């Protein structure tokens, strides 16, 4: 009987111990996972489930750390670190190189002024006495202009003819012509044109002589008129392209006009 009582006591103690162990395990599993400073606990105090969870989290975080490290390494290789002093030195070197290029360009390339299309075909025409034209060309060439000499045909006033107004017919003009010749006045009948059947009574080189003959004819009872001929003469002028002329200063033209008093400036189309 004693052995049976002892055996029952031992069995009860073993059952009590097993029941307590299972109950503590269930309580531990159901407890919420500690966060923050509560994680600072000893590993020995964790049960198997918590230890296994920590092991899985460690394995999952390890690749992300490696990936971040790899990405950092790649970025470091692709984008090397540049010191601030290197940036300043590089900027100064680039500015010095640009200044050198601009200096060389200014020394070797001559920038031409913008060309105005409206000046195309226009010239500054300079007319002067023949003995002054050569000096004008030399002065313009000395300032890198390109003048050239052009021959022009110019109509100038010629001699003056004094005439008696036209008669109604050639017969009447012939009768008056005989009268004039008896007075020793050199004359002839005008055969055509607006003055047809008029009588020319002299051609004179000056207006004064022409007026004297007209007074003589009026004294004889004739009505007179005057007709001045034009004579074409060749003369020379200096042509300077207007696109060059406009680059000369006003003071330069004043000095040129002072040195060559007979010079006349006009702007016109180039012939």
pLDDT per residue over 180-227, tens digit each?
A: 998 888 899 999 989 999 999 999 999 999 999 999 999 999 999 999
The pLDDT score that the predictor gives to residue 111 is: 45
What Å distances lie between residue 54 and 31, 33, 44, 67, 219, CA to CA?
Answer: 16, 11, 13, 21, 150
Q: Residue 71 has what pLDDT?
A: 44
Residue 249, pLDDT score = 92
Q: Regarding predicted confidence, which is higher, 71 or 103?
A: 103
Distance CA 221, CA 186 (A): 17
Residue 175 sits at the vertex; the CA angle it makes with 169 and 177, to the nearest 5 degrees, is 100
Where exactly are the structural domains of the chain? 122-269
> To the nearest whole number, what is the mean pLDDT of the chain?
75
Kindly tell me if the per-residue pLDDT of 246 is higher than 80. yes
Question: Regarding predicted confidence, which is higher, 16 or 62?
Answer: 16
Q: Does the pLDDT of residue 41 top 80, yes or no? A: no
Separation between Cα atoms, residue 222 and residue 212, nearest integer Å? 14
Specify the pLDDT at position 250: 93
Q: Which comes out higher in pLDDT, residue 73 or 183?
A: 183
pLDDT at 268: 86
Pair 254, 142: CB distance under 8 Å: no
Predicted local distance difference test score (pLDDT) of residue 70: 46
226, 161 Cβ separation under 8 angstroms:
yes
Summarize the confidence of residues 17-46 as an average pLDDT.
53
Quickly state the pLDDT bin for 10 (edges 50, 70, 90). Answer: confident
Contact of 161 with 225, CB cutoff 8 Å? no
Determine the Cα–Cα distance for residues 189 and 203; give it in Å rounded to an integer.
13
Q: Report the pLDDT value the prediction gives residue 13, as an integer from 0 to 100.
A: 74
250-266 average pLDDT score = 93
For residues 127 and 214, what is the distance between their CA atoms, to the nearest angstrom? 36
């Amino acid at each position: 009987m004693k052995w049976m009582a002892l055996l029952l006591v031992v069995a009860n103690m073993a059952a009590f111990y097993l029941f307590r162990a299972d109950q503590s395990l269930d309580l531990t599993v159901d407890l919420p996972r500690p966060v923050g400073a509560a994680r600072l606990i000893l590993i020995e105090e964790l049960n198997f489930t918590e230890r296994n969870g920590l092991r899985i989290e460690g394995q999952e975080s390890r690749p992300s750390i490696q990936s971040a490290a790899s990405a950092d390494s790649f970025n470091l290789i692709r984008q090397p670190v540049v010191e601030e002093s290197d940036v300043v030195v590089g900027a100064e070197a680039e500015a010095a190189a640009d200044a050198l290029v601009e200096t060389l360009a200014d020394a070797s390339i001559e920038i031409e002024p913008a060309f105005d299309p409206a000046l195309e075909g226009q010239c500054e025409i300079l007319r002067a006495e023949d003995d002054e034209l050569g000096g004008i060309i030399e002065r313009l060439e000395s300032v890198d202009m390109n003048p050239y000499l052009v021959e022009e045909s110019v109509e100038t006033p010629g001699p003056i003819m004094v005439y008696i107004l036209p008669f109604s017919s050639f017969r009447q003009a012939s009768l008056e012509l005989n009268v004039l010749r008896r007075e020793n006045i050199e004359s002839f009948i005008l055969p055509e044109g607006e003055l047809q059947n008029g009588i020319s009574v002299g051609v004179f080189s000056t207006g004064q002589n022409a007026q004297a003959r007209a007074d003589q004819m009026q004294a004889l009872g004739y009505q007179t008129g005057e007709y001045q001929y034009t004579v074409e003469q060749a003369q020379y002028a200096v042509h300077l392209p207007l696109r060059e002329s406009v680059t000369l200063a006003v003071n330069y033209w004043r000095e040129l006009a002072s040195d060559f008093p007979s010079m006349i400036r006009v702007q016109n189309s180039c012939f």
